[in-house]
Structure 1
Amino acid sequence: MKYFSFLLVLGVTIALAVLVSIPIGQIPPIAPLLDPNHGFWQNSISEDELAAEELTLENLTAPVEVVYDQNLIPHIFAESEADLYRAQGYVTAQHRLWQMEFQTMAAAGRVSEIVGPIALDLDRMTRRKGLAFGAELGMKFLQENDPETLALVEAYADGVNQYIAQLSDARLPVEYKILNYRPEPWSAFKSLLLLKYMSDMLVGDRDLEFTNLRKILGEAKLDRLYPEFPSENDPVIEAAHVWDFEPLPVLKPDSMAYPDEELLISPLSQPEEGTGSNNWAVAGKKTKNGNPILANDPHLSLNLPSLWYAMQLSTPSNTVKGATLPGALGVISGFNQDIAWGVTNATRDTRDWYKITFQDESRKAYQYGTTWKPAERRIEEIKIKGQEAFIDTVIYTHYGPIVYDRSFRAERQDINFALKWTVHMGSNEQKTFLLMNKAKNHNDYNRALDHYTAPAQNFVFACKSGDIAMRIQGKFPLKWPGQGKFLMDGADPKMEWQGYIPNEQNASTLNPERGFVSSANQHPTDSTYPYYVFDNSYEHYRNRRLNRKLGEMEQITVEDMMGLQFDDYNLQAAEALPILIRLLGTYKADSPEAEKYLQELKSWDFFADPNQKGQTLYSIWSSETFESIWRELLESKAAVVRPSSYQTVELMAKSEQDSIFEVKSVDGVEAADYHVRLGFDSMLVVMEKWEAEQGDYSWANYKKTTIQHLVPTFKSFSVVNVYTGGGSGILNATGSRHGASWRMVVELGSQVQAFGVYPGGQSGNPGSKFYENFIPVWANGGYLDFGFRMKGDVDNVLFKTTLK
């Protein structure tokens, strides 16, 4: 019997040993994960506890000194640019390797390799959009036109790879351990791919939705509900600007054929609501010290690790500091000894869709005018963890890849639509930032921007000499009015783009009379700009609040600019809530709660501070009202997009009896007040449930700002319920999942004064004390001192490492 018991225990032990040593499906092997010497326990050690005085880095021409301040921000001092960027790659990988690789694998359509078949559709769409194809063209562009930049990008990759080669199992980022894979070599291609990933994240189009809306509403109603310009347009480039160039001619075809059927296909994912940014610069004549002040706060998804990684990069001839993108060279938003710059999304339509007519089922040729053009095939092998690879065949036309066809998202319709996108046109955005990091004046700033193609950005600028400027930069196609608003016929050569707007004719301004430049994702210009520009997602509230405040302010200080970045005033509510209350009319509150809510709304001051309850009530009421107004339109089987909130409020204010408020399913004549009352009743239902389950409905508690790990299921690596105010359409644009991903304020005096913060920490390791330590500062509107550190400074040094 004792032998039987022994054998039983032995068998169970062997089985357990096998189970914990071999991954099962998507579950990692347990033994390595729990190993105290190599597993996740080792990731509980912070970087300062692992600091080394010296590290070996091959291919340097001289030693490089890396000084970390008390917030783990590295200050790299190198003797040459090649050494600087090799060290930047190495240091960034030390703290953000998993993030760098995960983001570029997402951009390449390779997430299935990590997480299995759940990501297959995502990977297929990414490949069909051609992000990797665009990066390949970018590599070819550098190889043929700019070997110097390519050499620096390869130096950065060498630094990353040297860190990977030195990486022990113990120091492997915890995400690799949990997901059970190891990092692969970095490359120059991956750095270019990262910039394409940013384009995909920030660029949208609504060609499909507007094509369907044209069919559903007719052109007249479409134009009324989706006007080219709002009634109160406050554009990026001041309305009084004079355009001092002769525009290139754009010929509109005499006749055009658009698809005349509703298309039952799923649109591409668009930039999520809340994605945006603010930037501005004020001239010395408006500031207390007589120096220009620049501010920038890009609004993106709130993620951990943070999108940004703060650094100072120094050579004997130049020092630059600010926010970097892990995986890309240089500083993206920052300042040097002479200038400061920042970026916001320009919201420009740089991708269009063409309906392709193939000659036959083989899809080897497609119609173009009176001829048939040959098509190309690109075989995409998508590796899937735990399964055989999936093979996808993507057809390429001269416009670009066929994203939609009968094999993917065609939903019962035999269609083929090709995507034309500036991302597929070989460009050199990396050079823009390399040159901007060293720029000394406005001419240098313009020369840097001449290399920039996508994603379109509003680049704000200020320099010590006193200049302030704004330029809307990208590679913008020449379009006739309306071109690209709807899907086009790819068989008709007249549908082609007719060239590109010259860089020098991109909308820009230098030292405007009003004493400031600004952008907040609104219309780039007024109607006098001679080129066609349209987008349905332009901002209408943040921009007007910003420009009004900047216009009023004098004797401006850095602290004033910090306050403006954290401004919680809800202009939409200030304009819309009085209309909602008026249209509610003689509403009879049939409960004490309804009367309480109404009184709270009437007494609210329109600030979305974290303790405000009026903001919560307005958010629900307005959302339910707008949803009711457009419900029947949005219930169409075909994909559509509803009119903007700005346009909706204007219709309610000026045309409350408009036929658009009628509801087919309800008898009688409906007007705007019907939807307002329905929205109020819906708010009461929402609030009854909320108070019963959650209690406190102050704004911060209701919106529950969450800074989420890049893998959403890793909830323990996220930070939830951050107590902070703001919201969509507000300068402090902090919603539940989006907000200011980086705040920077710089005064360019004889000594540069700079301050910055982002919602995260320098470390990508969830076990480090530097993983989320900036979040409380950011949530309260605070900043870190981002002043330059000189070589040899001894104050506030966490540790120093010499790369030899």
Structure 2
Amino acid sequence: MKYIGFIFVFLLTLALGYFGSIPLGPAPPIVPLLDPNHGFWQQTKSEDDFAEEEITLENLTSPVKVTYDENLIPHVFAKNEEDLYRIQGYVTAQHRLWQMEFQTMAAAGRISEIVGPIALDLDRMTRRKGLGYGAELGINFLQEKDPETLRFLEAYADGVNQYIDQLSDARLPVEYKILNYKPEHWTAYKSLLLLKYMSDMLVGDKDLEFSNLRKILGEELLNKLYPDFPIDNDPIIEADHVWDFQPIPISKPDSLNYPNDELVIEPLPQPEEGTGSNNWAVSGSKTKSGNPILANDPHLSLNLPSLWYSMQLSTPEYSVKGATLPGALGVISGFNENVAWGVTNATKDARDWYKITFQDNSRSTYKYGDEWRKTEFRVEEIKVKGEETFLDTVVYTHYGPVVYDRTFRGERQDANFALKWTVHEGSNEQRTFLMLNRSKNHNDYNAALDNFTAPAQNFAFASKSGDVAMRVQGKFALKWPEQGKFFMDGADPRMEWQQYIPNDQNPSTLNPERGFVSSANQHPVAQSYPYYVFDNSYEHYRNRRLNNRLREMNNITVEDMQALQFDDYYLHAAEALPVMLGLLGEPSELSDIAAKFLEEVKGWDLYADPNQKGPTIFYLWWNETYNQIWKDLSNLEVPVVRPNNYQTTLLMKTEPESSVFDLKSTSVTENASDHVKKGFEEMVEKLEKWTEDEGDYSWANYKRTTIQHLVPQFKSFSVANVYTGGGRGMLNATSERHGASWRMVVELGEEIKAYGVYPGGQSGNPGSKYYSNFIPLWANGKYLDFALRKEDQDLPVLFNTTFNPVK
């Protein structure tokens, strides 16, 4: 009977994948899938059913012991780092092989190989952005400057490949069986490609949209609706921080001419709304124990298998534990015996666009100042399942690849735009995490971060010695004001990036007087920072809620920090709802259902708990009002970005009669009140229909958080309608498809206390009891004990495996 549920969801998944609305390519042969010895039946068992006491591996120098705790979290005990990473590769592949390969194939623009021509445009875009090119430069960088990291990456790849080579058809992950393909060998290149993929997931740019807005709105209105700094700026580095360096002088050139095209090309995919993170560290002066406490919760897509895989990695020199990224070395967010660290996205504008002027249709030369420079051509061979290989010729300039041209999304012959991005400048992010894993103090932390280029990240830090620190790290171009905010003319050398901000002048702080450091994707600095800082997507609510709470709190405990990670106070609603109620006034006539909704939202306590109805009413009312206010911008035929919630609320509060509220598409003159009233009517209509169709409109039932399989069509391998609160703009940022992908809290005392959880499980096998077993804990704000283990410690063990060298 225990297999019935898995058999049902497997067959349903197969049906959805191949007979649903989105084809995934030719269906696999059904007979092998049903073979009891080789087919999906093998996925009905969990990892402990296949536990092996001993495994022999080539290229090991000493035995390596792996202890699995009751949640299938491996604790690897090796005598040296090369053996450590070889076993990390093997063990990760045991549990996450398909995920590792699928994500790197996506990063390489190779999904068409698996699913056919439906993915061709996606693969072309990925290739044209130059992720594979960036990974190639990364390998070259390691070969020339860091052979040790390359050796460790190759050891990891060797571990993965030894697992693949002994993998039977029966044990092949179910996704391979459904999609009808086999794994290929891992390489160091793939690990670097994975890190470039993460950079692409976390970086955005709105050069195209802001170029259009500049032309449509003019400079004055653009700056009013999209200010570089909000009024309530509570930055990552404390606002009163004193910058103790001599800045490099830079000034904006005179008489610049921006490309003035009708920019109607489709913009690059951007980070999904809700992608962000929180991290903070409080000093011992604010904690009950007198020890520093660090917390981190990266907010990303909620997927199965989980983005993260938990491990402890130990050598005689150090033991580190936390969240690893399947396919990459070491621990990405975690702690060791001396320090802890956590990361959030710094959302700094790290890629810019340049219009290229080719000399002729051959595209072999392009204008740069008074000269014509030669281009290079890179032919991308994209294999397509069931069809001939597609050849895509990409032109490269010194700026980078020409992503948009006459062959790809360019409607005009002269629409040629090149992408300049630090991902295309050989770097070594992997070294950062290897060094953090071994770090003992703040100096080690800084030395590790000096290797980190992209994506820009906010690294929180705490040490057992009492330090707390924050550093905004990346390779940041030194830009004159507004450089990179709009599309630039690639023929004008004055548009060129001049140099880079030195690492020691990146925003950072150590042991600030306020007793804590924190980041939540907001502005990194106050206006006193001497360099130009811009991004359109800075966060405006989580950061203020977090900083206000940390200022208020004293005698802080680990439990307090866990509760703060799960905090669902809706600051946006707290600021916007009184304004909306004031602009709504006292309606003279309301239907019974409208009056009910109004009274419920008025009586709401502003917390987005799962059983509350207020969040649903506000969320719908706000969205309808917002859409009414910016209807003219939404109806434009060119890509633009609309003003954010914070600026919209501020305008509604301070300038309700402003001309910005008047829709040019209507014959009457609107003000903020008109939009609020129309938004209320639309909310009532939509929520009334929801109530008729779905019944309960409490927050969890309305937002319906889903933890989705990496292949969306495999719905039976997803977990839908998770009962949990939170949402966008809240510390507990759990929305429909995004949220805390990993929560960690570490207290750095004499004995380190650590707790962690993520919304999934250790296994990538949907039939395993370890596939999604953490989700109930995560949904309710609970944690696993994540303390470091010693090799022979008397603690519950699921099973042990010893890896022995070949004799």
Instruction: Give the TM-score normalised by structure 1.
Output: 0.97
* Residue in structure 1 matched with residue 303 of structure 2 by the alignment: 303
Deviation (angstroms), 1:590: 2.8
SS of match in other structure, 1:281: strand
SS of match in other structure, 1:711: coil
* Residue in structure 2 matched with residue 455 of structure 1 by the alignment: 455
CA distance in 2 between partners of 1:669 and 1:385 (Å): 56
* Residue in structure 1 matched with residue 540 of structure 2 by the alignment: 540
Which amino acid in the other structure matches residue 98 of structure 1?
Answer: W
- The 1:178/1:655 distance shift into structure 2, 3 A limit, reads same
Deviation (angstroms), 1:413: 6.0
* Residue in structure 1 matched with residue 398 of structure 2 by the alignment: 398
Alignment check: 8 A CA contact 2:251 2:481 kept: no
CA distance in 2 between partners of 1:260 and 1:333 (Å): 44
* Residue in structure 1 matched with residue 155 of structure 2 by the alignment: 155
CA distance in 1 between partners of 2:589 and 2:172 (Å): 61
SS of match in other structure, 1:150: helix
* Residue in structure 1 matched with residue 208 of structure 2 by the alignment: 208
Deviation (angstroms), 1:295: 0.1
Which amino acid in the other structure matches residue 467 of structure 1?
Answer: D
* Residue in structure 2 matched with residue 7 of structure 1 by the alignment: none
CA distance in 2 between partners of 1:740 and 1:682 (Å): 31
* Residue in structure 2 matched with residue 85 of structure 1 by the alignment: 85
Pairing 1:488–2:502 present? no
Unmatched 5+ residue regions in structure 1?
1-22
CA distance in 1 between partners of 2:637 and 2:784 (Å): 50
Q: Deviations over 1:642-672 (max 9, x none)?
A: 0111000000000000001001233332100
Alignment check: 8 A CA contact 1:215 1:261 kept: no
CA distance in 1 between partners of 2:586 and 2:513 (Å): 48
Alignment check: 8 A CA contact 1:75 1:312 kept: yes
* Residue in structure 1 matched with residue 525 of structure 2 by the alignment: 525
* Residue in structure 1 matched with residue 15 of structure 2 by the alignment: none
Deviation (angstroms), 1:251: 3.0
Unmatched 5+ residue regions in structure 2?
1-22
Alignment check: 8 A CA contact 1:160 1:186 kept: yes
* Residue in structure 1 matched with residue 226 of structure 2 by the alignment: 226
Pairing 1:796–2:790 present? no
Alignment check: 8 A CA contact 2:319 2:337 kept: yes
CA distance in 2 between partners of 1:244 and 1:37 (Å): 68
SS of match in other structure, 1:388: coil
What does residue range 6-155 of structure 1 map to in structure 2 within 5 Å?
26-155=26-155
What does residue range 155-554 of structure 1 map to in structure 2 within 5 Å?
155-412=155-412, 414-554=414-554
Which amino acid in the other structure matches residue 425 of structure 1?
Answer: E
* Residue in structure 2 matched with residue 564 of structure 1 by the alignment: 564
CA distance in 1 between partners of 2:335 and 2:68 (Å): 19
Which amino acid in the other structure matches residue 320 of structure 2?
Answer: V
CA distance in 2 between partners of 1:461 and 1:585 (Å): 48
Alignment check: 8 A CA contact 2:431 2:451 kept: yes
Pairing 1:757–2:757 present? yes
* Residue in structure 1 matched with residue 19 of structure 2 by the alignment: none
Which amino acid in the other structure matches residue 385 of structure 2?
Answer: K
CA distance in 1 between partners of 2:669 and 2:640 (Å): 25
CA distance in 1 between partners of 2:255 and 2:307 (Å): 46
Which amino acid in the other structure matches residue 672 of structure 1?
Answer: A
- The 1:25/1:533 distance shift into structure 2, 3 A limit, reads closer
Alignment check: 8 A CA contact 2:24 2:116 kept: no
Alignment check: 8 A CA contact 2:632 2:665 kept: no
SS of match in other structure, 2:57: coil
Q: Deviations over 1:369-426 (max 9, x none)?
A: 0000000000001000111111100000000000011111123563000000000000
CA distance in 2 between partners of 1:72 and 1:37 (Å): 25
* Residue in structure 1 matched with residue 771 of structure 2 by the alignment: 771
Deviation (angstroms), 1:796: 1.1
Which amino acid in the other structure matches residue 145 of structure 1?
Answer: K
Aligned length: 782
Which amino acid in the other structure matches residue 771 of structure 1?
Answer: Y
Alignment check: 8 A CA contact 1:380 1:392 kept: yes
Alignment check: 8 A CA contact 2:98 2:173 kept: yes
- The 1:124/1:669 distance shift into structure 2, 3 A limit, reads same
CA distance in 1 between partners of 2:651 and 2:87 (Å): 57
Pairing 1:715–2:715 present? yes
CA distance in 2 between partners of 1:245 and 1:383 (Å): 52
CA distance in 2 between partners of 1:413 and 1:269 (Å): 23
Alignment check: 8 A CA contact 1:399 1:418 kept: yes
* Residue in structure 1 matched with residue 685 of structure 2 by the alignment: 685
Deviation (angstroms), 1:201: 0.1
Over the matched positions of the two proteins, sequence identity in percent amounts to: 72
Deviation (angstroms), 1:56: 1.1
CA distance in 1 between partners of 2:309 and 2:24 (Å): 35
Deviation (angstroms), 1:786: 0.1
Which amino acid in the other structure matches residue 66 of structure 2?
Answer: V
Q: Deviations over 1:534-556 (max 9, x none)?
A: 11110000000000000000000
Q: Deviations over 1:648-700 (max 9, x none)?
A: 00000000000010012333321001110111111011112101110000000
Q: Deviations over 1:754-784 (max 9, x none)?
A: 0000000000000000000000000000000
Which amino acid in the other structure matches residue 104 of structure 2?
Answer: T
Alignment check: 8 A CA contact 1:215 1:262 kept: no
CA distance in 2 between partners of 1:476 and 1:149 (Å): 24
Alignment check: 8 A CA contact 1:40 1:177 kept: yes
Alignment check: 8 A CA contact 2:24 2:115 kept: no
SS of match in other structure, 1:394: strand
CA distance in 1 between partners of 2:715 and 2:190 (Å): 28
Alignment check: 8 A CA contact 2:741 2:758 kept: yes
CA distance in 1 between partners of 2:163 and 2:515 (Å): 47
* Residue in structure 2 matched with residue 676 of structure 1 by the alignment: 676
Deviation (angstroms), 1:793: 1.8
Moved more, 401-410 or 558-567: 401-410
Alignment check: 8 A CA contact 1:264 1:413 kept: no
Alignment check: 8 A CA contact 1:477 1:500 kept: yes
Which amino acid in the other structure matches residue 298 of structure 1?
Answer: P
Deviation (angstroms), 1:347: 0.3
CA distance in 2 between partners of 1:703 and 1:29 (Å): 38
Alignment check: 8 A CA contact 2:657 2:671 kept: yes
Deviation (angstroms), 1:25: 5.3
* Residue in structure 2 matched with residue 588 of structure 1 by the alignment: 588
CA distance in 2 between partners of 1:467 and 1:435 (Å): 18
* Residue in structure 1 matched with residue 12 of structure 2 by the alignment: none
Deviation (angstroms), 1:324: 0.1
Q: Deviations over 1:162-213 (max 9, x none)?
A: 0000100000000000000000000000000000000000000000000000
Q: Deviations over 1:269-301 (max 9, x none)?
A: 110110000000000000000000000000000
Moved more, 680-689 or 461-470: 680-689
Deviation (angstroms), 1:24: 11
Which amino acid in the other structure matches residue 145 of structure 2?
Answer: N
Q: Deviations over 1:475-525 (max 9, x none)?
A: 000000100000000000010001000000000000000000000000000
SS of match in other structure, 1:381: strand
Deviation (angstroms), 1:57: 1.1
Alignment check: 8 A CA contact 1:279 1:518 kept: yes
Which amino acid in the other structure matches residue 289 of structure 1?
Answer: S
SS of match in other structure, 1:56: strand
* Residue in structure 2 matched with residue 602 of structure 1 by the alignment: 602
CA distance in 1 between partners of 2:668 and 2:88 (Å): 68
CA distance in 2 between partners of 1:551 and 1:71 (Å): 36
Instruction: Give the TM-score normalised by structure 2.
Output: 0.96
CA distance in 2 between partners of 1:604 and 1:150 (Å): 56
Which amino acid in the other structure matches residue 772 of structure 2?
Answer: E
Which amino acid in the other structure matches residue 333 of structure 2?
Answer: S
Pairing 1:635–2:651 present? no
Which amino acid in the other structure matches residue 699 of structure 2?
Answer: W
CA distance in 2 between partners of 1:566 and 1:24 (Å): 38
Q: CA-atom RMSD, angstroms?
A: 0.9
What does residue range 639-654 of structure 1 map to in structure 2 within 5 Å?
639-654=639-654
Q: Deviations over 1:428-476 (max 9, x none)?
A: 0000000000000000000000000000000000000000000000000
CA distance in 2 between partners of 1:604 and 1:24 (Å): 45
